[in-house]
Structure 1
Amino acid sequence: MWQYAYKYLKQFEKIDGPKAYPIVGNYFLIKDPKKNVAIFDDFPRKYGKTTKLFVGMHAALVTTDVKLLEVVMTSPNLINKTNDYIMLFNRWLGDGLLISSGEKWRAHRKILTPAFHYKILEDFIDVFESRGKFLIDNLLKASSEDCVNVHKLFSLYTLDVICDSAMGTSVNVQCNPDHKYMDAIETMCDIASTRLVNPIYISEWMYKYTNLYKTEIKALETITSFSLGIIEKRRQFLESRHSDDVNDYDEFGKRRKMTFMDILLKSTINGNPLTNEEIREEVDTFLFEGHDTTSAAISFTCYNLSKNPEVQKLVYEEVCQVLPPDRAVTITDVQNLKYLEMVIKESLRLYPSVALYGRVVDKEFVYNGIKLPKNLRIGVNLYSLHRDPDEFPDPEKFNPLRFTADEQSKRHPLAYIPFSAGHRNCIGQKFAMLELKSAIAKVIQNFELLPVPGYTPQLTSKVTLTSDNGICVKLKPRSTHEKL
């Protein structure tokens, strides 16, 4: 196997990278997720925009080269995720959109695309608003503290939102933060980040003899039984109605909104309905992808606003001007928060929800005179890509005006890709942006965000980019006069 890797060392001799060792490759360099963000961010300065790396005995290229990204994001031979995704999530997410490939991925992507149609997204504004009220209550309770880890509270909010949206079911974790379903999801995410960097846990046959594996199986039982129970209940309900219109009324007489699960329940592939297990995989994928990534984005945006009061003032003025005080908020209102959207985009530039993600080469191709062989891993170093001074002058400065139409036109279109791009771009990015704007607008309406003296996030790249010491701000409730 090392000879196999060594072949690529020879093949990539024109590409620089850190020294690799037999068997372990660069394991000792990248084993600590608390240091990985800084280590990977140093790669472009040390080795150039494309760095060669060995994860164990598997060759990889880590890149911020927009020309290479043009190939990675658009090639039909580069749509598959790396084996890391399968290793970490296959028992939980199965063949859901995140890790499926080939015809199954294409068929399910086609089925799910209508779930993000404007008319369906319009219905979710009510969910954002109703769940947002609980969020503000929880933030108000915490506002007496000098340092509030808002990430934890936003995680509860986003899980409530995605459960309502994906399954049409209220979990109410904001009122019950110790909910066993919430605990199980957190456990699965922690296990994934632990396995990713530990060679004992990476080996599947060794992993199955560990206590961590037993913990995973127990958490999976909680998650799958919860999801399958809701799916079966909803399937029976729809069948009892004998109706093709799922936008009717539920058993309590309330108008039922179309959910992601409803679309899956009513869909067929080659004339056959999806099984409960196939639906569970997709629903759980939505819960996983739409929960922690969104809460991290909201949290880092609030942190950036606390550090940039002049920007926060402009956001507050826009929110007061655009959002109506005397009627329900609509999707058009949220979309009209144009400056807030630029603020969110700038925050996602500095703190993308996923700092590094990978693709695997399905068919050999040549790039820049170098053969990139089948099974080669290509990692997109998003954190560093978004800080490339060639595309973003003074990259550490928080400046939302980078995202005016004029400024965006000056950059390469792949210089900024927080929701990925090409064939496997994030299917839920419009949903996510609406949720982000709705939540942050509510926070700014009700609180002035202040920096915590001496606090700096200790960035760590686990499954998502987060902070080992929380994402913290000081919350100063606005007076009634200010809210008017």
Structure 2
Amino acid sequence: MELDVLPIPLTWVLLAVLPVLFYLYAVRPMQALKKLGVSGPTPLPLIGNLHQIMKTGIYNMEAQVDAIATYGNVYGVFNGRVPILTISDPEMMREIFVKQFHKFTNRAPEGMALDVKPQARMLTQLVDEDWKNVRSTITPAFSGGKLKQMTEAMNSCADLLVGNIGKFGEKGESFDTKELTGAFTTDVIARTAFGLDVDSQRNPQDPFVVYSKKAFNFNFLNPLIWLFFLFPSIMKPILEKLNYNFVAKDVTDFFYNILEQIMGMRKNEQNHGRVDFMQLMMDAHRDGEADDDDSQETKVQGTKKPLTKDDIVANSFLFFLAGYETTATAMAFTLYNLALHQDAQDKAREEINQVMDNRELVDYEAVHNMPYLDMCINENLRMYSPAASNARVTGEEVKLKWLTIPKNTLVTIPILGIHHDPKRWPEPSKFIPERFTKEEREKRDPFDWQPFGAGPRNCIGMRLALMELKVGLAKVLMKYRIVTGPDTDIPLKIMKYKQFPTPENGIRLRAELLHPGSD
């Protein structure tokens, strides 16, 4: 008799408790932004605004501009149950990136970053003192002195790029611009960062090119990503146990093997005299004789922990992939804009020819005497920023003007929305290099242009990327006029589910030899 009646009260208890649990887990968190006085699109229980994010994608200029116009310079969305503040107010950005940077040092909230190889030891994911240590060790690799020593290698790779473009020019055929610029940046990074003679420009099927491309085949619709967003406390330990990092295993295996081979070959070298990125990190590792145990307390240069082997491999992997994709994309889009605007191309070429008169190499000094080319690159980076947004997380409660942000809150900066905001940039869809004259820059808030981020945690490879861009573009423009063809998309159709600006049909351009009959 007791067994017969037992399920009845238990059922009623469950029916009463489940709605309460659902409310506490799936509904109440959606009040967080409203309590802060922040508006935004209406979230749904549990999934927040994920359904809208799936619709708009990642790289979507119009969506970011519309959101700023609709909700203002401060608004919020929910990535599952996680609230995200989106801020484009210049004064607040100055506080985030510079004045109160010590409260915004890190990039991801606690519990939302996977502790898996290789990404856990990448500079982009490291936190607090750990980040400062690795950043300060790597920074000297991008000094002016180091860049000067990379000049010859960059020029050699740029000459191959010019030769490849010339093969298409001789036949009057169009070429996939990103394919050629990607091979160029692959060769430059391989030589200047790791001392490898990778000739991917002559061999498009070089493993470095193949695996670099594959690394960016990120599936935004991967159900594991959405499960992680919805149930981070459950999915995080599962994914970490499986060492699942959203990058194809064969890609990480390839780069790990290559980088470990380089380290092995250099380990016993005497008087190596190398000054590249890899050697700088290996020296920091060797000086402390650190192993892969993060508890190692041996100090380097008096105050810093030595880099572990995982630090070296992870950040070499990061540097190669980030440098390959962003610089190749920026160069391809710059050539596209110059092909559409022949007056700007002629002006840039005239400046380049003047600077290069009686010079053989496009060296460190030369690229710093090409202000108009610099303006063209900067305007292109405004139109097609390498990243759609930037992120920081509060290390403690922070007061920004009228807004009080709780600890461990994710804050994003909508770079595309800022770069295409008509209030900041009149006629934002137009390519106007003159926006970056000295006079125009002085009129404008510096936080209105953010392709490399800002403050102490900006893009560490910015100077190298800009030099690489200028050397490659200068070499090409000195010999060829870049023009559009019948298969050039005008305007370009950008794929919204990609992490970086990616045209649906590529960037097809043609090259015309400036001085027919010359060698």
The normalised TM-score by structure 1 is 0.88
Aligned to 1:293: 326
Cα distance, 1:326 vs structure 2: 5.5
Q: Match for 1:55: what amino acid?
A: N
Cα distance, 1:349 vs structure 2: 1.0
Larger deviation, residues 269-278 vs 37-46: 269-278
Aligned counterpart for 2:389 among listed residues 352, 356, 359: 356
Identity %: 26
Q: Is the 8 A contact 2:39 2:75 kept in 1?
A: yes
Cα distance, 1:187 vs structure 2: 2.1
Distance 1:10 1:201 in 2: 24
Aligned to 1:234: 266
Aligned to 1:124: 150
Q: Match for 1:458: what amino acid?
A: K
1:444 aligned onto 2:477: yes
Distance 1:109 1:192 in 2: 29
Q: Match for 1:265: what amino acid?
A: M
- Alpha carbons of 1:444 and 1:93: their partners in 2 closer, same or farther (altered >3 Å)? same
Aligned to 2:50: 27
Cα distance, 1:334 vs structure 2: 1.9
Distance 2:247 2:459 in 1: 30
Alignment of structure 1 residues 389-428 onto 2, 5 Å: 389-428=422-461
Distance 2:39 2:435 in 1: 32
Cα distance, 1:27 vs structure 2: 1.3
Alignment of structure 1 residues 250-265 onto 2, 5 Å: 257-265=274-282
Cα distance, 1:178 vs structure 2: 1.6
Q: Is the 8 A contact 1:112 1:263 kept in 2?
A: yes
Cα distance, 1:16 vs structure 2: 2.6
Aligned to 2:252: 220
Give CA deviations for 1:251-304 in whole Å, capped at 9, x if unaligned. xxxxxx510111112224614643332211221121122110111111111111
Alignment of structure 1 residues 110-259 onto 2, 5 Å: 110-143=136-169, 144=171, 147-191=174-218, 193=220, 195=222, 198-200=225-227, 203=235, 216-237=248-269, 241=270, 243=271, 246-247=272-273, 257-259=274-276
Q: Match for 1:113: what amino acid?
A: T
Give CA deviations for 1:306-355 in whole Å, capped at 9, x if unaligned. 11111011011111111145633321112211110111011111111112
Q: Is the 8 A contact 1:346 1:400 kept in 2?
A: yes
Aligned to 1:478: 514
- Alpha carbons of 1:423 and 1:56: their partners in 2 closer, same or farther (altered >3 Å)? same
Q: Is the 8 A contact 1:149 1:470 kept in 2?
A: yes
1:340 aligned onto 2:373: yes
Aligned to 2:3: none
- Alpha carbons of 1:201 and 1:385: their partners in 2 closer, same or farther (altered >3 Å)? same
Aligned to 1:464: 500
**Unpaired runs of 5+ in structure 1?**
248-256
- Alpha carbons of 1:79 and 1:399: their partners in 2 closer, same or farther (altered >3 Å)? same
Cα distance, 1:164 vs structure 2: 1.1
Return the index of the structure with the highest Cα Rg. Answer: 2
Aligned to 1:455: 490
Give CA deviations for 1:44-101 in whole Å, capped at 9, x if unaligned. 1222122211111110122221122112212211121125997589523331222111
Q: Is the 8 A contact 1:147 1:452 kept in 2?
A: yes
Q: Match for 2:494: what amino acid?
A: L
Aligned to 1:254: none
Larger deviation, residues 147-156 vs 221-230: 147-156
Q: Match for 1:107: what amino acid?
A: N
Aligned to 2:293: none
How many residue pairs match? The answer is 466
Q: Is the 8 A contact 1:34 1:468 kept in 2?
A: no
Distance 1:208 1:441 in 2: 46
**Unpaired runs of 5+ in structure 2?**
1-24, 230-234, 289-298
Q: Is the 8 A contact 2:90 2:448 kept in 1?
A: yes
Aligned to 1:40: 64
Distance 1:194 1:480 in 2: 49
Give CA deviations for 1:162-203 in whole Å, capped at 9, x if unaligned. 111111112222222222333223222213655599514765
Distance 2:38 2:385 in 1: 26
Aligned to 1:251: none
Cα distance, 1:214 vs structure 2: 9.6
Aligned to 1:253: none
- Give the alignment's Cα RMSD to 1 decimal: 2.8
Instruction: Say which SS state the counterpart of residue 191 (structure 1) adopts.
Output: coil
Instruction: Say which SS state the counterpart of residue 60 (structure 2) adopts.
Output: helix
Q: Is the 8 A contact 1:155 1:291 kept in 2?
A: yes
Q: Is the 8 A contact 2:393 2:409 kept in 1?
A: yes
Instruction: Say which SS state the counterpart of residue 80 (structure 1) adopts.
Output: coil
Q: Is the 8 A contact 1:322 1:333 kept in 2?
A: yes
Distance 2:246 2:417 in 1: 36
